[in-house]
Amino acid sequence: MKTWRHIAAVALAWVLGTVAPLDVRAGINVDSVRQLQLIDQGVQPPLLIGDARFRVAVFAFEDPDKLALGDALATLAMHQLLVGARVSSLGVLRFSDPMAGPRSDELGYFDRIDRLADSQKVTVSVWGAVRRVGPEIAVDTYLQIPQSTVNQALQARIALPKAMGGQELLARIGSDRVLLQRQLLSAATAESVRAAARKLTELRDTPNDQAPVARHVPQETVFYLRELRPPWVRVGSPQGGGWVRSAGHCSGACAPLLDGARFVSSLLAFIEKRQRIDFIATLSPEAAAFADQTAALDILHRGDPMDEGAGAAAILARWSPDGGNIMASPPPGGASSANLRLLARIRGQLLRQVAQVSPATWDRAYEDVRLDPQRVRAAVTEAAAALQADPRNAELLHNLVVLFDYVREPDKARLARELLGEAERSGRLMLLPAR
Amino acid sequence: MTDMEPGCGSNRAADAMRRIGRTLAGLCAAALLSLAPAWAQTAVKGIVTDRTTALPVVGAAVELRRGAAVVDRTVSGSDGSFMFMVNAGQSPQAQNFKLGVSHEGFVGADQDVVIASARPDSPLYRAALIRKAVADCQPKRTRRVVVGYFRPPTGTPGQADFAARVSDALLYQLSFLERSRVASDRRPSVVACEQLDDRDNLPALARELKADALMSGAVARPEGRPRYNVTMFLGDPYGLFDNATRVNSRDVDLDDPSASRLAPEALGAVLRALLTGYLKNEQYADCVELSGLALAELPRPAPQPIVDIRAECLRKQPAGLLMAGPR
């Protein structure tokens, strides 16, 4: 009888529009140590929620001060990713502390999350660190982007006209590790974070804070978000389901901690549907630069000949290098903004020249275009300034090789080629592969 | 022996003369006896020093071997010197010996001695001994910090090995460098070498270990407090910390290295030495990247020495030539 009443209530809510149909959203709590043991034994662990179109790994934050916040912050991030998902199919893998268990090797936190993320072939990873800083607690949230995701959606390529050599210019959005947020918490807020995370593991029979806890979110079993009835969501799993809050569980000073996950949801929507990434004020300048780069990338992909690349270049102008800032610290996102801006400016110059001929002959005309070397040199020199603070930016070095060759500065082209070789030998990130 | 020594003259019988004759005969015999070894023996001289400090090593055991046989043994004197007299004949044919030097706390050293025509191939054999503590300390990466002996708090039972604890703490504090694009084998390593206990010679030891910084010091646990106070003395091969700079870190939880925090001054000093290593070794790109991260990590105001190193690396890196006018 109770069940029928519930169904009737849901049906009514549906009709009234307060119940949202959910795309596929699934989560799983994963034992990091067990996964690492499998990998150490040379066993490829099965892909968890392998059918999901997008899969995000969320790692327990590194918590050296034993503040009991590492798992709590990961739980909040996982929950926010699931309830705030803006893509059609999402799986979130929530890894326990990778540093727990016996330490059989010298792998650090970074190395372990790299291994786990690689083995699960996730779209992106979210991880972080929480540390005591005087009376406060600092929470750093990071986004890690594997090469496969960059190849899929976070790069720009421009083929130069045959008359200019026909080579490709390349740009990568951001770096592989992006600091999303640096947030300071008071001890009281830390306690509210722990309490909020605890509540997110409790499933209730009815969407009500006073309803008894029927069961907990399962460990190492996939669970699904079945029904969203804000501020509640119903979770189902083979062990049974229940209701948990979708909103209102982390308010006040806790709320900004969800913004990192919101950014990631936004990024996934950008990858799937080219939806613009909304920048959130609590996030880092690096995240802001990243968001601007995706906006510029979108403009470049749309290829509006009327825009002539000006829109993209304008968006990125605020990240242009400033001599004084470079001395103090690198610009947010390194030289990637300047590199993408270089592509936008070159593309703009190309489109301006092609636009002078009839649209019917654009393709053929494009291959004959030769840009004014003086104008190319100005753009290249500005980009080279950004390289100073990010000297291993392989894509920018590649572009400098191509463009210095074009403007007939063979010494600089040779030097850029040498620096690119050195960057690939001594750096962690390789040049984007050729198409 | 006859009264008359052949070849030493004769006289007719005066006692005085006989006495003189006897004396002369004695001198002749003595002269002959002393001359015989002079043309058969060769002096092999040497000096034993500590490779770290170049100071003499007193009481080192030195032996000269020929094949498996020990020809002679001696010990080095107060100035580290030693000498053997070797009966090697006057043959121009080379004769091979081995000089072995050993002393407690040092790694033993052998070297060849070749004697021909009663002359050694070196007028002075120099044995610069390597301290065992140095030889046992083998950091893997090029840029490195070595943590030597830290005297434990009074009454600490058993083997405390605070070098390992301080090293772990430092490693944790430097983990932000992993965010850079610098390949792992070019990032700095931190190595604990508990046996390195010579606070007076930190710069020399750092040079010998090719370490960018070497630290040693003492750990104290104030009465009734759960955490430690760490006093460290820093030495480096670049002359940054000439008289072993002293840095104090208070309230450090060395029982859980991942939770321990050395004072920002200590972290800043170590970073300064490491970045100087990158700069001096012309690893400018590494220096630029890592100094950027260091400045973001260290509390404000940014330490001027690190700002200066970064500025120099930016100025010197070859990428700067890409911004100049047409070449």
- Range(s) within chain B of domains with CATH label 2.60.40.1120: 40-130
Domain boundary residue, one of A223, A253, A283: A253
A239 with A350, same domain: the answer is: no
Contact B181 A415 (CB under 8 A): no
Cα–Cα distance, B132 to B107 (Å, whole number): 5
What percent of chain A is modeled with pLDDT above 90?
A: 64
A127 with A217, same domain: the answer is: yes
Q: What is the mean pLDDT of chain B?
A: 83
Q: What is the pLDDT of residue B216?
A: 92
The yes-or-no verdict on residue A328 having pLDDT over 70 is no
Contact B321 A412 (CB under 8 A): yes
CATH class name, domain B40-130: mainly beta
Binned at pLDDT 50, 70 and 90, residue A177 comes out as confident
Q: pLDDT tens digits, residue range B38-92?
A: 456 899 999 999 988 889 999 999 999 999 899 999 999 999 999 999 988 888 9
Q: What is the pLDDT of residue B180?
A: 82
Is A126 within a domain?
Answer: yes
Q: What is the pLDDT of residue B169?
A: 84
Domain boundary residue, one of A227, A253, A279: A253
A185 with A328, same domain: the answer is: no
Residues on chain A touching B282 (C-beta within 8 angstroms): none
A232 with A308, same domain: the answer is: no
Contact A327 B310 (CB under 8 A): yes
Is A269 within a domain?
Answer: no
The yes-or-no verdict on residue A201 having pLDDT over 50 is yes
Please give the ipTM for the structure prediction: 0.77
Is A58 within a domain?
Answer: yes
Cα–Cα distance, A175 to A374 (Å, whole number): 30
Which residue on chain A is closest to B295 by alpha carbon? Answer: A329
A117 with A217, same domain: the answer is: yes
Q: pLDDT tens digits, residue range A109-139?
A: 777 888 899 999 999 999 999 988 778 899 9
Binned at pLDDT 50, 70 and 90, residue B126 comes out as very high
Contact B181 A388 (CB under 8 A): no
Nearest-by-Cβ selection for B319 from A327, A391, A429 = A391
Cα torsion at A133, A134, A136, A141 (round to 10°)? Answer: 0
Nearest-by-Cβ selection for B178 from A64, A108, A389 = A108
The yes-or-no verdict on residue A142 having pLDDT over 90 is yes
The yes-or-no verdict on residue B214 having pLDDT over 80 is yes
User: Whole domain around residue A27: which residue ranges?
Assistant: 2-149+181-253
Minimum distance, in Å, between the CA of residue B168 and any CA atom of chain A: 11
Domain boundary residue, one of A236, A253, A270: A253
Minimum distance, in Å, between the CA of residue A55 and any CA atom of chain B: 23
Q: pLDDT tens digits, residue range A65-117?
A: 789 999 999 999 999 999 999 999 999 999 999 888 655 456 677 778 888 99
Q: pLDDT tens digits, residue range B133-176?
A: 888 787 777 899 999 999 888 877 666 678 888 888 888 888 88
Q: pLDDT tens digits, residue range A283-311?
A: 999 999 999 999 999 988 887 666 666 78
A209 with A318, same domain: the answer is: no
Is A124 within a domain?
Answer: yes
Q: Are B137 and B111 in contact (CB under 8 A)?
A: no
Nearest-by-Cβ selection for A65 from B180, B259, B322 = B259
Residues on chain A touching B323 (C-beta within 8 angstroms): 381, 384-385, 388
Residues on chain B touching A429 (C-beta within 8 angstroms): 181
Contact B175 A388 (CB under 8 A): no
The yes-or-no verdict on residue B13 having pLDDT over 50 is no
Minimum distance, in Å, between the CA of residue B207 and any CA atom of chain A: 25
End-to-end CA separation in angstroms for chain B: 97
Which residue in B167, B178, B255, B322 has the most chain A C-beta atoms within 10 A of its own C-beta, making it the best mutation to test that interface? B322
| β-sheet bridge partners, residue A236 | A224
Dihedrals phi, psi of A163, to nearest 5 degrees: -65, -20
Q: What is the pLDDT of residue A314?
A: 86
SS3 B158: coil
Q: Which amino acid is at B64?
A: L
Is A166 within a domain?
Answer: no
Q: Which of A125, A118, A144 is nearest to A55 (CA)?
A: A125
Which residue on chain A is closest to B185 by alpha carbon? Answer: A426
The yes-or-no verdict on residue A145 having pLDDT over 90 is yes
Secondary structure (DSSP) of A196-223: HHHHHTEEESSS-TTSPEEEEPPSSS-E
A336 with A231, same domain: the answer is: no
Exposure string of B54-79, with b = 16+ CB inside 10 Å and e = fewer, is eebbeebbbbbbbeeeebbeeebeee
Q: What is the pLDDT of residue B327?
A: 46
Chain B residues within 8 A (CB-CB) of chain A? 172, 175, 178-184, 186, 256, 258-259, 284-286, 288-289, 292, 295-296, 302, 307, 310-311, 314, 317-323, 326-327
Q: pLDDT tens digits, residue range A370-412?
A: 999 999 999 999 899 889 888 889 999 999 999 999 999 999 9
Minimum distance, in Å, between the CA of residue A391 and any CA atom of chain B: 6
What percent of chain B is modeled with pLDDT above 90?
A: 43
Which residue on chain A is closest to B298 by alpha carbon? Answer: A329
Q: pLDDT tens digits, residue range B299-324?
A: 888 889 999 999 999 999 999 889 87
A121 with A56, same domain: the answer is: yes
Residues on chain A touching B184 (C-beta within 8 angstroms): 428
Domain count, chain A: 2
Binned at pLDDT 50, 70 and 90, residue A430 comes out as confident
Secondary structure (DSSP) of B176-232: GGGGSSB-GGGS-EEEE-TT---GGGHHHHHHHTT-SEEEEEEEE--TT-SSEEEEE
A141 with A50, same domain: the answer is: yes
Q: Are B67 and B86 in contact (CB under 8 A)?
A: no
A21 with A138, same domain: the answer is: yes
Q: Which of A202, A306, A200, A336 is nearest to A257 (CA)?
A: A200
Token pair in block for residue B100:
């072995």
